[in-house]
Amino acid sequence: GAGRAGGLALIATLAYQAYQNWQASQGQRAAPPSGRAAGFIPSADEAARMLGGTRFAPASPADEQDRARALLIAMITAAKADGHIDADEQGRIFGEMDRHALDADDKAFLMDVLRAPVDVEAVARLARNPEQASELYAASLMAISVDTPQERAYLDHLARSLRLDPGLVRHIEATLAAASSQR
């Protein structure tokens, strides 16, 4: 597609950028030269090329559905962190749900998540590796405007539960802030 990466591809791309920059800052591996600043929002084609062959790329259509579900759960749970889902948060969540061809079972499941109590540990258990942990944190951060102490406390708890390095958390937050300033 000629358009910019959106939704889950955008979350994966931004999490990937933050993860690469964090690794480079740790001296583990140089960030791949993209010629782009952190938080750059790529086209859908660029996103597919960037993520190809990494653990940020879905391995199969079934994996893509599982990841979509996990990221939506993370977004919903983050939005509920302060006790209510405001109109902006609801718009982001339902926009993401509409972007995917969710079947009736998936939609019903996500409605159950909307009604359930906030469970940080359940979100953290969805991560199978550090890359997915980064994506879940990024999705949670994208779902909300961190404007209450409850939301900040939720994100801090989530980062600890996902076992994310504090430096990586800072890279994710900076990358998403840079991206949101471009939108």
In a domain, 152, yes or no: yes
Q: DSSP for 54-70?
A: STTS-SSHHHHHHHHHH
Asked if residue 115 belongs to a domain, the reply is yes
Specify the pLDDT at position 2: 40
Rounded Cα–Cα distance for residues 176 and 19 (Å): 12
Q: How far apart (Å, rounded) are the C-alpha atoms in residues 77 and 143?
A: 9
pLDDT for 31: 47
SS3 140: helix
Residue 51 lies in a domain: no
* Mean pLDDT score, 37-48: 64
Contact 40, 31 (CB under 8 A): no
CA-closest candidate to residue 4, choices 61, 44, 63, 47: 44
Q: Let me know if residue 30 belongs to a domain.
A: no
The H or E element spanning position 130 is helix 130-143
pLDDT, residue 102, reads 77
On whether residue 6 sits in a domain, the answer given is no
Report the C-alpha gap between 19 and 25 in whole angstroms: 10
* 53 occurs within a structural domain: no
pLDDT in tens, 156-181: 999 999 999 999 999 999 999 888 87
Average pLDDT over residues 138-165: 94
pLDDT tens track for 84-119: 888 888 888 888 888 777 788 888 888 899 899 999
Q: How many domains would you assign to the chain? A: 1
In a domain, 52, yes or no: no
Average pLDDT across the chain, whole number: 83
Boundaries of domain holding 81: 61-164
- Decide: residue 132, CB within 10 A, 0-12 exposed, 13-18 middle, 19+ buried: buried
Residue at 66 is within a domain: yes
Per-residue pLDDT of 127-139, as tens digits, reads: 999 999 999 999 9
> Which of 16-30, 47-61, 80-94 shows the lowest mean pLDDT across its residues?
47-61
Q: State what percent of residues in the chain have pLDDT above 70.
A: 85
* Mean pLDDT across 77-86: 90
Q: What confidence category does residue 52 fall into, taking pLDDT thresholds of 50, 70 and 90?
A: confident
